[in-house]
Amino acid sequence: MPQLATRFQTLPGYPLADVPAIKRELRAKGVDLIDLGVGDADLAPPPAAVEAMQRAAADPVNSRYSFQLGLPELREEIAAWMQRRFGVALDPFKEVLPLIGSKEGIFHLPFAYLNPGDVAIIPDPGYQAYLGGTLLAGGEPYLVPLRPEHDFLIPLDLLPEDVVRRAKILFLNYPNNPTAAIAPREYLEQVVEFCRTNDIVLAYDNAYSEIAFDGYLPPSILEIPGAKEVALEFHSFSKTYNMTGWRIGWAAGAPELISALQRVKSFADTGVPFTVQHGALAALRSHESWVPHNVETFRQRRDAAVEVLRAAGFDVPVPRGAMYLWVPLPEGVASEAFARKLLLEQGVAVLPGSSLGAGGEGFFRIALTVPESRLREAAERIGRVL
């Protein structure tokens, strides 16, 4: 066998590689497994989106390559939605780019900007595509622990000077996966200023912008004055509309950033399937009438899980965004050992914090992706292991 590339060898190992097999075995033994490990809700997409996709699939014109341009109406609808939702004006053809899921764009961005020796600043724990894209593009990741004492924000003033000087990309994600933290507006203003001063691309992952509770409305980074000069924002249809498997998202930002990402993509893919774009278009059009009810389901789940976990002795905060609970473990309890014990003894799968980066140690993540009654049951079982 030929030797693997050095870049490839820098990728971290997958700490939970045996977990799918364990889950299969437990199910085969008849264990009543509750899987809260993956951020993939059990809920249905908007009916209008399903119907639009069915109609589109029947038309052979939609079986053809969509290329990077994609469906012009979708670009226009995305721009109109960004205007309605955030008050951000975008040129649909120069400042918007459809993606095969936001992960795809996040992964490809470093290929446009990182030379060897260039740094990407990455939250730890964080979504793994930041790290994977950086490493495979030959860049250098600088991981910053997201800790409760900093409200799970990256403390900009603690970044070493040498890192800041070499940094070309800063990845940020709020509402955050996995910590469920949100970013105050003043912090976002500081981040934009920091990226402008240091000439850094701000890759703002807004995958959870529409899952927020108790009156909180997450902003777009593009609302922040000056952001247009440095920020590329990633949006996803996955979580907002329960469409994870259809694979569609978009990037929004300055024409230079969009065009660089589009050029990388043009060598890697030939666009999002038209049928999926038609589904996404209908989903966006049904946003105002459909999304609030979906969010309310997550809120009820959040409240139920928090209530039972607190009763079981966990000091879990009530998150205002995203679809996760980030639950602190007692001092000295390793998250992976805890998650394994929970799976084997109680049939509940959660994500150990350490699996998303060393900075996640001391926590585990619960995804609110099963019905309320199952979440209550799972939370009770989690309490038994504690």
Any contact of residue 62 with ligand PLP (CB under 6 A)? no
The owner of tokens 């590689």 is 17
Token pair, residue 273, equals 């399937």
Q: Are 109 and 137 in contact (CB under 8 A)?
A: no
The 10 Å Cβ neighbour count of residue 259 is: 14
Token pair, residue 350, equals 């959660």
Q: How far apart are the first and last CA of the chain?
A: 46
Cis preceding linkage at 219, omega within 30: no
Tell me the angle at which helices 335-346 and 19-28 cross, rounded to the nearest 10 degrees.
10
Any contact of residue 236 with ligand PLP (CB under 6 A)? yes
Any contact of residue 144 with ligand PLP (CB under 6 A)? no
Among residues 98, 125, 218, 249, the one that binds ligand PLP under rule CB under 6 A: 249
Residue type, 41: A
Q: Which of 66, 40, 73 is CA-nearest to residue 275?
A: 66
Any contact of residue 128 with ligand PLP (CB under 6 A)? no
Across the beta sheet with 351-352, the strand order is 324-328, 363-367, 351-352
Any contact of residue 103 with ligand PLP (CB under 6 A)? yes
Any contact of residue 212 with ligand PLP (CB under 6 A)? no
Among residues 37, 39, 46, 133, the one that binds ligand PLP under rule CB under 6 A: 39
Any contact of residue 277 with ligand PLP (CB under 6 A)? no
Any contact of residue 242 with ligand PLP (CB under 6 A)? no
Give the residue closest to ligand PLP by C-beta. 101
CB of 40 to ligand PLP, least distance (A): 8
CB of 327 to ligand PLP, least distance (A): 17
The owner of tokens 């004006």 is 89
Any contact of residue 177 with ligand PLP (CB under 6 A)? yes
Q: Which is nearer to ligand PLP, 201 or 207 (CB)?
A: 207
Any contact of residue 324 with ligand PLP (CB under 6 A)? no
Residue type, 195: C
Stretch binding ligand PLP (CB under 6 A), from 99-107, 139-147, 179-187, 347-355: 99-107
Give the footprint of ligand PLP on this chain (CB under 6 A). Answer: 39, 101-103, 127, 173, 177, 205, 207, 236, 238, 244, 249
